[in-house]
Chain A
Amino acid sequence: MAVKLSKLDEQMLEGKCGKATQIAVRILVRMAEVVGAGEMMDVSQAHIDGCGLLSEAGLEFAETLAAKGAKVSIPTTLNMGPLDLQNWKSFGIDEDFAAKAIRQAKAYTDMGCIPTWTCAPYQSYLTPRFGQQIAWGESNAICYANSVLGARTNRYGDYIDICAAITGRVPKCGLHLKENRKGQILLRLVDIDPAIIQSNAFYPVFGHLLGSLAEDRIPVIDGLCSEASSDQLKALCAAAASSGAVALFHAIGVTPEAPTLQEAFQGDEPEQVIDIHLSDLVKAKSELSTAQDGAKLDLVVLGCPHFSFDEFRELAELIQTEVDRGNTLHPDVRFVVISGQTSYALIQRSRFLKLLVDFGVEITLDTCLFHTPMVSTETKVIMTNSGKCAYYAPGELDVQVAFGSIGECVRSAVEGCVLRKETLWKES
């Protein structure tokens, strides 16, 4: 099926707007054919994921576009990159790797992207508004933008994101269109203690379950807490977009396109109704760990997606409690928090930063454990509060992983081994 092109699309394809724009629009039009879109449409904001991974091919692609004079035509934020641009030396990063990462960062900023370097762009700068048509990469951010903010984006993979940013155009299809945003399956939280549903650890666990049940369908959740915080929904999105291809969910009474069940399904019936019991959550929680309780711990990682100011505050309070008891970080454990410049600027102006640093917390910015080589080969067991980190760590980092709440991560870091209290999650 031929894609209907605007006059500007045709001019771009003919190379009248420069070589780089021609490459970008050619990729977009081929992708329109792949997804069966009849025409192209405008987007007014982009978030680039393709700047994250450092690979020879990714660097070559970015530098090719930049060298051909590419410039973004819409406000464009950057996902985390492969390097903590200020502090990489203190993390023992290889100089050759750093040099290439800096070249890649330069290619993207030369194209006019805003150096936000965060995977939680919805908590930093240029938050999209309800109904805004955007082209976002980064699976957790895509899920958050669609579900929690009600902005409209498809799952833009690495490299189409920058093409959309250069041209301001995307294939008109999928989640850009209201009719494709209706719920498909209904998940009901049944007889689950509200104390669990309000706890931070519920969100990554439920997200993990949600992704594996929904796969690539749009789930509607009945029973989520209407007071769920931005950080809790962030954790849910990140986990659901790891175990599944969830780009949009609705939660009745929580997310903007789902004030009622009927509106979430746009008047249709769910294809499938699934009741979630505590036993399902307990099973999902155990799936997130490959390390056993009591295992010797090497590294705690928090901030996947990037830690917010509120999360720093929660961590600082837990660490203060340990310090008050005369406890210290176990000498064999590294404690790393990953965040972005925006949250860091705020904690620099708070009393928390000194407390965290004195305890031995290492804060790395602009990057991600998976994209920067900061985990040594001696690291065997890591612990995290993130469903996404727990999901990918065994394959990407070749480590065993233990999932636990921030509190459990702090206790374990003090004791030097994986410690978890299961009281809240005990099946009666």
Chain B
Amino acid sequence: MCVTKGDVVERILTGRALVPGSAKGEALVSSEALSLWGGLCPRTGEIIDRRHELSGVIAAGRVFVFPRGKGSSTSSATLLESIRTGAAPAAIINLKVDPILALGSIVADELYHQAVPIVVLADKDFFSIERGDYVTIEPDGTVRITTKSSKMDRKV
């Protein structure tokens, strides 16, 4: 669904809420997989995988859109600690279910009653999100994407 309000275009996507919750923020988008351990600093929220395209970028407070996790089974610990320190992304959108990421968020929910929502989107929807889009996530897995239409025009 696509709604235009002034120069803002809102699209509504339906995903699967692996860890349900509400969140909103600017989209940080990558097409590369990431191991959060060795990939995200749980104190600063910086992407520290020096081989990753987002190396040096801060993920804290943003809706982090990347296809899937990989590598270390300590990634759940990194996510949990980053939730504790407040350096976690506002939400995570993946293309594939990564149980290790979901786990970090679920344990945070048990321990601190605070989780990072994780939503999995279908291919077409996942790849439609661009860096800088504003993303709102709802507990049922609804993902609202707002893009300035001036930006849409430039793309055409």
Contacts and interface: CB of A to CB of B under 8 A. Distances in A.
A137 interface: yes
Interface string A254-293: 0000000000000000000000000000000001001000
B69 interface: yes
Interface stretch (B1-9, B73-81, B141-149): B73-81
B77 A27 contact: no
Given A245-B68, A245-B69, A58 B102 contact: no
Contact of A242 (B18, B19, B48, B72): B72
A242 B71 contact: yes
A53 interface: yes
B45 interface: no
Contact of A395 (B39, B42, B102, B106): B39
Interface of B: 18-19, 33, 35, 37-39, 42, 48-51, 55, 68-78, 80-81, 83-84, 96-100, 102-104, 106-108, 110-112
B73 A155 contact: yes
A137 B100 CA distance: 10
Interface string A378-392: 000000000000011
Q: What bracket does the count of chain A residues touching chain B fall in?
A: 35 or more
Residue among A27, A157, A391 facing the most chain B CB atoms (10 A cut-off): A157
Interface in A22-77: 23, 26-27, 30-31, 34-36, 49-50, 52-53, 55-58, 60-61, 64
Contact of A55 (B81, B102, B112): B81
Task: List the 10 closest A-B pairs by CB distance, nearest first.
Answer: A157-B100, A157-B76, A158-B77, A55-B81, A392-B38, A395-B48, A245-B70, A394-B50, A57-B84, A34-B102
Contacts of A31: 99, 102-103, 106
B71 A158 contact: no
A219 to B, nearest CB: 14
A307 interface: no
Residue among B48, B49, B83, B100 facing the most chain A CB atoms (10 A cut-off): B100
Contacts of A394: 50-51
Contact of B77 (A30, A53, A139): A53
Contacts of A157: 73-77, 99-100, 103-104
Given A56-B81, A155-B99, A157-B100, A245 B74 contact: no
Contact of A23 (B74, B104, B110): B110
A57 B35 contact: no
A138 B73 contact: yes
B74 A52 contact: yes
Residue among B33, B72, B74, B106 facing the most chain A CB atoms (10 A cut-off): B72
Contacts of A27: 103, 106-107, 110
A147 to B, nearest CB: 15
Interface in A220-266: 241-245
A159 B99 contact: no
A218 interface: no
B84 A159 contact: no
Contacts of A392: 38, 72
A117 to B, nearest CB: 15
Contact of B80 (A30, A57, A156, A370): A57
B48 A215 contact: no
B76 A160 contact: yes
A187 interface: no
18 contacts: A35-B97, A50-B77, A52-B74, A60-B111, A155-B73, A155-B100, A157-B104, A158-B74, A158-B80, A158-B104, A160-B99, A211-B70, A215-B68, A216-B70, A244-B71, A245-B98, A395-B38, A395-B50
Contacts of B35: 242
A218 B46 CA distance: 31
A142 interface: yes
Contact of B68 (A159, A160, A216, A287): A216
B18 A34 contact: yes
A133 interface: no
A193 interface: no
Contacts of A243: 70-71
A58 B84 CA distance: 10
B35 to A, nearest CB: 7
B104 to A, nearest CB: 7
